[in-house]
């Protein structure tokens, strides 16, 4: 199953990836990262197609996609 | 399992100083990807502007020069003329390229310098606190147009790409957007074309990118992308201008 | 070696070409236009790059780029144009780039006139633009020296990674004199910092911007150390009859030629008069002012700019008089003699 990794401490919480994911598999974390923002996380167990739209939209190069 | 999307080699793995949702991070990454894919990293020399992207050289992992505000294309002219074997590009904002540096921009274009220009149009001066830029839209509120830009007093948004397209020395101008995944893919293609033109000696090539500035537009990052699509791209139509 | 007749502007250009200058950008302004035209005629033939820039500001920033890419680079202008270039010169100093800037001075302030003048001395020696920096400033007094000092300017600029100014005036630029095209000895330094593409090494950055706390102070301290070294090693001057002189004339550039004539005339009449002619204006040749028992007369085509450096060099230990005109007026030999006689007798 394709998956993504998110660099939690580089994430600025802009949420562009959240709206980019056609499966709604990226959600906001409850806690804060080192930058003091609520980063996003990958909801495992969903049907990630490895489309990489999230990585394409991320302005901070936080996302890697594996397929 | 293969890694199909990752950090380009030409982009250092460091956090940037840009605000959440800022288009500069996207533009930096797309340029770095194009440099890697065209195997240009050891050949390229970038000229960074004064503006939010002033420390772009902290993010790109290839040779870079600074330039005084607006002077990037004069500096790039000096570099390219003495080292024609290198690939030289400037990265400039709207204030840098289309206000304080208009003279350098027009004349480098008119000389037909074999250079590549990446023009980030976000309709404000970001670095200094969101003042009116030459490209600020009519009625757009900025810290120096608190009632919105009024043509009677502040003139109109400057379409420098269309102006430059009139010059015979200019070979390629395209306006693209960082407002959606589809547009970002097109932007990458335009960046590669602008580099390829220089490699092939075609001449002056410029890619204007409509880029989000959520902080000084007073919008969320997602709303900013909608604003580019629904409002900004109406004033600055996308597509190949020349 | 046979001599050829050349103008000061042409001699500076030829000196630059023989010093290995391979990039020139300039903008038309009188009285330095012959220099630009000479470069237009010769630079490309010798494998270099000539650009007539759209503006003085563009020209100096093209020089910034060419120098950042490792080329020996030069621009020239005259007073109002040099004012426009100050931003670029400050960046060149901050980024520690070598470059040569020629100022063939004319009258000011403002648009002034095109007569010879020396009223840009403060601008050249005090930094001119923003920030704590210095340019090396060399002041030729003959066509031959214009040729010779230009090569030296390139060597010093490379050696210290600093901008160097040739400070001439309209008289020197326009006058023609026999010139010996001596073999130059360009000593270009290796430039591992230059932007050439990062093949086989880490990426290079040319910049003057330091945001992190303490970094800019570090750069400034480094610059100050360099300026101290330049001040210790690079003072240059010519002196005449100092051994027995009671009154010492101090003048540079074209003005020094008239001062020299006055000294010779007075010597013929038995007056014990000498001359100090600063060749480097920054660093100012303080070492030439070691005789506080003398009386000094500073003569300038300005209302007293180098005068301050002479006073500083003598620390109030000697009497310093001044004779100056500006705006087109040039102190004549007769005026100088009259003044000297007064000092001599008083």
Residue B115 binned pLDDT confidence (cut-offs 50, 70, 90): very high
Contact A23, A45 (CB under 8 A): no
Does residue B103 sit at the C interface (CB-CB below 8 Å)?
yes
- Alpha-carbon distance of C61 to B228, in angstroms, equals 34
Q: Where are the beta strands (DSSP E) in A1-67?
A: 3-6, 26-28, 40-42, 63-66
Cβ distance B221 to A52 less than 8 Å, yes or no, reads: no
> Mind listing the domains of chain C with CATH numbers?
3-233 (3.40.50.970), 238-345 (3.40.50.920)
Cβ distance B68 to C87 less than 8 Å, yes or no, reads: yes
Interface of B with A in 167-196 (CB under 8 A): 181, 184-185
pLDDT digits (tens, 9 = 90+) for B130-169: 999 999 999 999 999 999 999 999 999 999 999 999 999 9
* Pick from B63, B78, B106: CB nearest C204: B63
Residue B4 binned pLDDT confidence (cut-offs 50, 70, 90): confident
Hey, what are B112's tokens? 């037909």
Q: Is A touching B (3+ C-beta pairs, cut-off 8 A)? A: yes
Cβ distance B74 to C204 less than 8 Å, yes or no, reads: no
Mean pLDDT, chain B, integer: 97
Cβ distance B78 to C208 less than 8 Å, yes or no, reads: no
A38 CA: distance to closest CA in chain B (Å): 12
pLDDT greater at residue C33 or residue B2: C33
- Alpha-carbon distance of C336 to C148, in angstroms, equals 28
pLDDT digits (tens, 9 = 90+) for B16-30: 999 999 999 999 999
Does residue C144 sit at the B interface (CB-CB below 8 Å)?
no
Residue-level pLDDT at C188: 81
Q: Is B touching C (3+ C-beta pairs, cut-off 8 A)? A: yes
- Give the distance, in angstroms, between the CA of residue C292 and the centroid of all CA atoms in the same chain: 27
Burial of B88 (0-12, 13-18, 19+ CB in 10 A): buried
- Domain parsing of chain A, residue ranges: 3-66
* Pick from B5, B13, B214: CB nearest A55: B5
Best probe of the A interface among B221, B225, B228, by most A CBs < 10 A, is B221
The topology under which CATH files domain A3-66 is Alpha-Beta Plaits (3.30.70)
Residue B5 binned pLDDT confidence (cut-offs 50, 70, 90): confident
Does residue C68 sit at the B interface (CB-CB below 8 Å)?
yes
pLDDT digits (tens, 9 = 90+) for C226-252: 999 999 999 999 999 999 999 999 999
B42 CA: distance to closest CA in chain A (Å): 22
| Chain C nearest-CA residue for B48 | C207
Cβ distance A66 to B4 less than 8 Å, yes or no, reads: yes
Does ipTM top 0.90?
yes
Residue-level pLDDT at C65: 98
The SS3 of residue C318 is: coil
Which residues of chain C, if any, have pLDDT below 50?
none
Residue-level pLDDT at C170: 93
Burial of C210 (0-12, 13-18, 19+ CB in 10 A): middle
| Chain A nearest-CA residue for B224 | A16
Residue-level pLDDT at B220: 98
* Pick from B45, B64, B67: CB nearest C61: B67
Cβ distance B45 to C195 less than 8 Å, yes or no, reads: yes
Residue-level pLDDT at B182: 97
C131 CA: distance to closest CA in chain B (Å): 14
Provide the number of CB pairs (under 8 Å) joining chain B to chain C. 136
pLDDT digits (tens, 9 = 90+) for B159-191: 999 999 999 999 999 999 999 999 999 999 999
Mean pLDDT, chain A, integer: 95
Residue-level pLDDT at B180: 97
Quickly tell me which residue has 């002034």 as its tokens. C112
pLDDT digits (tens, 9 = 90+) for C77-136: 999 999 999 999 999 999 999 999 999 999 999 999 999 999 999 999 998 999 999 999
Contact C85, C163 (CB under 8 A): no
* Pick from B18, B21, B24: CB nearest A16: B21
> Mind listing the domains of chain B with CATH numbers?
23-240 (3.40.50.970)
From the list B232, B84, B242, B230, the residue with the least C-alpha distance to B162 is B242
Residue-level pLDDT at C2: 86
* Pick from A53, A59, A61: CB nearest B181: A53
B64 CA: distance to closest CA in chain C (Å): 5
- Alpha-carbon distance of A21 to A50, in angstroms, equals 10
- Alpha-carbon distance of C54 to C303, in angstroms, equals 33
Cβ distance B20 to A37 less than 8 Å, yes or no, reads: yes
């Amino acid at each position: 199953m394709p998956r993504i990794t998110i660099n939690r401490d580089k994430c600025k919480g802009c949420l562009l990836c959240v709206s980019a994911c056609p499966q709604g598999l990226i959600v906001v974390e409850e806690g804060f990262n080192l930058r003091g923002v609520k980063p996003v996380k990958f909801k495992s167990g969903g049907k990630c197609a490895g489309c990489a739209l999230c990585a394409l939209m991320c302005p901070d190069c936080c996302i890697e996609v594996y397929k | 399992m293969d890694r199909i999307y990752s950090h380009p080699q030409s982009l250092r793995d460091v956090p940037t100083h840009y605000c959440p949702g800022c288009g500069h991070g996207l533009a930096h990454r797309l340029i770095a990807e194009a440099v890697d894919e065209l195997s240009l990293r050891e050949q390229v020399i970038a000229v960074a502007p004064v503006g939010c992207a002033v420390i772009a050289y902290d993010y790109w992992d290839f040779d870079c020069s600074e330039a005084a505000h607006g002077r990037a294309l004069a500096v790039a002219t000096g570099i390219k003329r003495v080292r024609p074997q290198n690939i030289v590009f400037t990265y400039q904002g709207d204030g840098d390229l289309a206000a304080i540096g208009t003279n350098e921009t027009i004349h480098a274009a008119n000389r037909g310098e074999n250079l590549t220009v990446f023009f980030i149009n976000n309709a404000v001066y970001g670095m200094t606190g969101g003042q009116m830029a030459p490209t600020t839209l009519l009625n757009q509120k900025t810290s120096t147009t608190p009632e919105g830009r009024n043509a009677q007093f502040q003139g109109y948004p400057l379409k420098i790409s269309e102006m430059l397209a009139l010059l015979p020395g200019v070979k390629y101008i395209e306006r693209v957007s960082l407002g959606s995944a589809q547009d970002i893919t097109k932007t990458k293609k335009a960046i590669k074309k602008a580099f390829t033109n220089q490699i092939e000696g075609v001449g002056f090539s410029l890619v204007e990118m409509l880029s989000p500035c959520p902080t000084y537009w007073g919008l969320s990052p997602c709303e900013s992308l909608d604003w580019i699509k629904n409002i900004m791209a109406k004033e600055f139509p996308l597509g190949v201008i020349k | 070696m046979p001599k050829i007749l050349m103008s000061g502007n042409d001699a500076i250009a030829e000196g630059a070409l023989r010093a290995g200058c391979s990039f020139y950008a300039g903008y038309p302004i009188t009285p330095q236009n012959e220099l630009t035209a000479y470069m237009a005629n010769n630079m490309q033939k010798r494998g270099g790059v000539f650009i007539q820039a759209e503006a003085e500001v563009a020209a100096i920033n093209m020089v910034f780029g060419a120098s950042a890419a490792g080329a020996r680079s030069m621009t020239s202008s005259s007073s109002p144009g040099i004012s426009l270039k100050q931003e670029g010169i400050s960046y060149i100093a901050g980024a520690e780039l070598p470059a040569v800037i020629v100022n063939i001075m004319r009258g000011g302030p403002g648009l002034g006139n095109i007569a010879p003048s020396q009223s840009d001395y403060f601008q050249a020696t005090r930094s001119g633009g923003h920030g704590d920096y210095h340019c090396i400033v060399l002041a030729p007094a003959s066509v031959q020296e214009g040729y010779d000092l230009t090569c030296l300017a390139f060597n010093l600029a490379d050696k210290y990674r600093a901008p160097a100014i040739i400070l001439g005036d309209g008289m020197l630029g326009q006058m023609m004199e026999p010139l010996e095209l001596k073999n130059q000895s360009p000593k270009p330094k290796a430039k591992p910092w230059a932007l050439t593409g990062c093949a086989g090494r880490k990426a290079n950055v040319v910049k003057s911007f330091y945001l992190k706390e303490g970094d800019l102070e570090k750069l400034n301290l480094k610059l100050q150390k360099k300026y101290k070294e330049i001040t210790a090693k690079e003072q240059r001057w010519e002196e005449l009859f100092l051994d027995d002189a009671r009154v010492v004339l101090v003048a540079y550039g074209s003005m020094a030629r008239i001062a020299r004539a006055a000294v010779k005339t007075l010597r013929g009449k038995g007056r014990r008069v000498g001359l100090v002619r600063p060749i480097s204006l920054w660093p100012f040749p303080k070492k030439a002012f070691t005789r506080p028992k003398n009386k000094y007369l500073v003569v300038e085509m300005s209302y007293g700019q180098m005068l301050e450096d002479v006073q500083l060099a003598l620390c109030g230990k000697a009497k310093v008089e001044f004779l100056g005109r500006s705006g087109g007026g040039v102190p004549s030999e007769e005026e100088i003699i009259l003044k000297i006689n007064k000092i001599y007798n008083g």
